[in-house]
């Protein structure tokens, strides 16, 4: 939770290595020319190492100026000065870690000072760094554009006109623009579907169709977001999605893990959405994407798998009936789950697997073995319990559970989709129970309703159709 002062919040984010670097920096007269700055910083470090709350201003002032009466303005001025120093240090540290950007800035400085030899040496080093950069991503094309612009300005200032890099500047301008524009458009489309609004895509509508046959799709970074935009927007989703997936796999080496996190999430979330709409081919597409993301560690954060990602992988594998692979996945990947949610996530997904294999008793035992702390998995586990009670023929328990589950849904804040989905499941199960098997016409009508209901999870729809006959 943010504290009262920006300085407090900033220092609290420093890890041990950064804390040591800042301490060393604050001892330098190059950065600091006021007294008590290092002492003020050390007081904050003591508090955060002990995981205490922010120290009070009165406490800090007494520590720094023990013989003086409390002066809020004096202390706030010192805090403001320390914050300014830390911000400058972060900027310097950022550019120090970005060799290409810092070298291009240095080249610009040398050019402005008319130091020809220094400029040539620095711009040559910039080019070497660019050529050795391992990725051909948005960053690479933006830095290439800066490189060619810097060379052009230098050549023009030197009255040389034989090579002004106009073509290179034009191409890198186009590529950089297209990557940014398409990337932003994918974000707009995703957000648009969530908040139910319409965004203006600006210039994109004027040239999106022309890109299909342009040379720009030879650039993987452009093609990646072009096909992503297409499958998010167009009706021929599967074709564009497969094109998108081929870029992710065939040109993996051209992107960093950070570059690929957003496209992978856009891809798997789209597959989940399509699967929920009953489009089963996307189960295969989504699972393959998940497998690749796990193999390349793109879907891991600090070597951890998000519990929702874990459960989504299980859901897709169940649709495809890849039970052997799934059992191995649960056993081998469980240690990568957050310990807080590990037991519940494993039990829940083992219950889903046992149910799919028609091992209903085992499924019930798995469900009863854990306490579910997150709302979504809690609700899904209650939905699965409906199916288990039905399969075990425990209809008294089922009736009681349907009543309690309906109340649970009404009292919780869940998304419109989840609420509608689970209300539909409860309603259809009640109708199946109350409609005798010999009532053929009523059963046929009920089957039609199940098939036509738009909001109903794929696996449960298949199960309901099986039960209704």
DSSP characters over 61-76: HHHH-TTS---HHHHH
Say yes or no: 76 and 128 in one domain: no
Alpha-carbon distance 321 to 287, whole Å? 12
Residues 71 and 90 in one domain: yes
Overall pTM surpassing 0.75 (yes/no): yes
Structural domain including 125 reads 99-164
46: DSSP letter: H
Strands 300-301 and 304-305, sheet pairing: antiparallel
Higher-scoring residue by pLDDT: 3, 390: 390
* Phi/psi of residue 337, nearest 5 degrees: -80, 150
Residues 394 and 458 in one domain: yes
Q: Which of 54, 76, 97 is the last residue of a domain?
A: 97
What is the predicted pLDDT for the residue at 5?
79
Q: What is the C-alpha to C-alpha distance for residues 85 and 89, in angstroms, rounded to an integer? A: 6
Within this chain, do residues 54 and 86 fall inside the same structural domain, yes or no?
yes
**Structural domain tally of the chain?**
3
Q: E strands of 349-438, at which residues?
A: none
Q: Are 401 and 386 in contact (CB under 8 A)?
A: yes
Same domain, 84 and 111: no
Q: Which of 99-108, 193-202, 207-216 has the lowest mean pLDDT?
A: 193-202
Q: Is residue 452 part of a domain?
A: yes
Residue 192's pLDDT is: 84
Residue 1 clears pLDDT 50, i.e. is over it: no
- Whether residues 92 and 104 share a domain: the answer is no
Identify the domain boundary among 97, 122, 148: 97
Considering the domain architecture, whether residues 128 and 55 belong to the same structural domain is answered as no
Is the domain of 20 the same as that of 91?
yes
Based on the fold, state whether residues 416 and 442 are members of the same structural domain: yes
Q: Are residues 446 and 412 in the same domain?
A: yes
The answer to whether residue 37 is domain-embedded is yes
Please tell me whether residues 31 and 48 are part of one structural domain.
Answer: yes
Distance, in Å, from the CA atom of 335 to the CA atom of 356, rounded to the nearest integer, reads 23
In a domain, 136, yes or no: yes
Using CA atoms, how far apart are residues 67 and 145, in angstroms rounded to an integer?
A: 58
Residue 424 falls inside a structural domain: yes
What does residue 52 show for φ and ψ, rounded to 5 degrees?
A: -95, 170
> Residue 340 falls within a domain, yes or no?
no
Decide if 35 is inside a domain. Answer: yes
The pLDDT confidence band at residue 2, using thresholds 50, 70 and 90, is: very low
* pLDDT at site 353: 95
Roughly what angle, to the nearest 10 degrees, separates helices 323-333 and 339-356? 170
467 domain residue, yes or no: yes
pLDDT tens-digit profile of 251-261? 999 999 999 99
| Coil vs helix vs strand at 463 | helix
**Over 90: is that where the pLDDT of 410 sits?**
no
Do 90 and 115 lie in one domain? The reply is no
Last residue of a domain, one of 81, 97, 113: 97
Q: Is 86 helix (H, G, I), strand (E, B) or coil?
A: helix
The answer to whether position 284 is within a domain reads: no
């Amino acid at each position: 939770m943010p504290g009262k002062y920006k300085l407090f919040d900033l220092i609290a984010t420093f890890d041990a290595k950064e804390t040591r670097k800042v301490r060393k920096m604050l001892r330098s007269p190059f950065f600091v020319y006021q007294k008590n700055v290092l002492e003020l910083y050390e007081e904050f470090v003591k508090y955060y190492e002990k995981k205490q709350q922010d120290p009070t201003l009165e406490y800090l002032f007494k520590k720094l100026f023990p013989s003086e009466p409390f002066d809020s303005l004096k202390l706030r001025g010192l805090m403001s000065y320390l914050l300014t120093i830390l911000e400058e240090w972060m900027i310097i540290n950022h550019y120090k870690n970005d060799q290409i950007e810092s070298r291009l800035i240095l080249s610009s400085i040398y050019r402005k000072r008319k130091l020809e030899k220094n400029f040539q040496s620095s711009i040559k080093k910039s080019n070497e760094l660019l050529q050795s950069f391992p990725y051909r991503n948005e960053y690479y094309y933006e830095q290439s554009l800066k490189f060619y612009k810097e060379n052009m300005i230098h050549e023009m200032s030197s009255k040389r006109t034989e090579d002004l890099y106009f073509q290179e500047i034009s191409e890198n301008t186009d590529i950089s623009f297209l990557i940014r524009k398409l990337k932003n458009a994918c974000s707009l489309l995703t957000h648009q579907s969530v908040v139910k609004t319409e965004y203006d895509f600006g210039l994109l509508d004027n040239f999106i169709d022309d890109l299909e046959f342009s040379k720009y799709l030879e650039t993987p970074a452009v093609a990646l977001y072009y096909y992503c935009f297409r499958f998010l927007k167009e009706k021929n989703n599967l074709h564009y999605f497969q094109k998108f997936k081929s870029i992710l796999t065939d040109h993996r080496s051209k992107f960093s893990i950070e570059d690929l996190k957003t496209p992978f999430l856009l891809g798997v979330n789209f597959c989940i959405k399509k699967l929920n709409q009953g489009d089963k081919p996307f189960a295969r597409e989504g699972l393959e994407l998940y497998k690749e993301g796990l193999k390349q560690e793109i879907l891991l954060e600090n070597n951890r798998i998000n519990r929702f990602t874990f459960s989504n992988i299980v859901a897709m594998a169940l649709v495809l009936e890849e039970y052997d692979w799934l059992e191995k996945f649960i056993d081998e990947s469980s240690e990568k789950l957050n310990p807080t949610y590990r037991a519940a996530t494993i039990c829940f997904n083992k219950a889903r697997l046992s149910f799919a294999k028609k091992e209903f008793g085992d499924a019930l035992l798995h469900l009863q073995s854990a306490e579910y702390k997150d709302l979504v998995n809690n609700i899904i586990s209650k939905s699965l319990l409906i199916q288990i009670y039905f399969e075990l023929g425990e209809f008294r328990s089922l009736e009681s559970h349907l009543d309690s589950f309906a109340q649970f849904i009404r009292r919780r804040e869940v998304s419109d989709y989840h609420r509608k989905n689970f209300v539909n499941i409860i309603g259809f199960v009640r109708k199946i129970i109350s409609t005798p098997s010999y009532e053929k016409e009523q059963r046929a009508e009920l089957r039609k309703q199940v098939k036509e209901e738009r909001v109903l999870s794929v696996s449960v729809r298949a199960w309901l159709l099986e039960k209704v006959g």
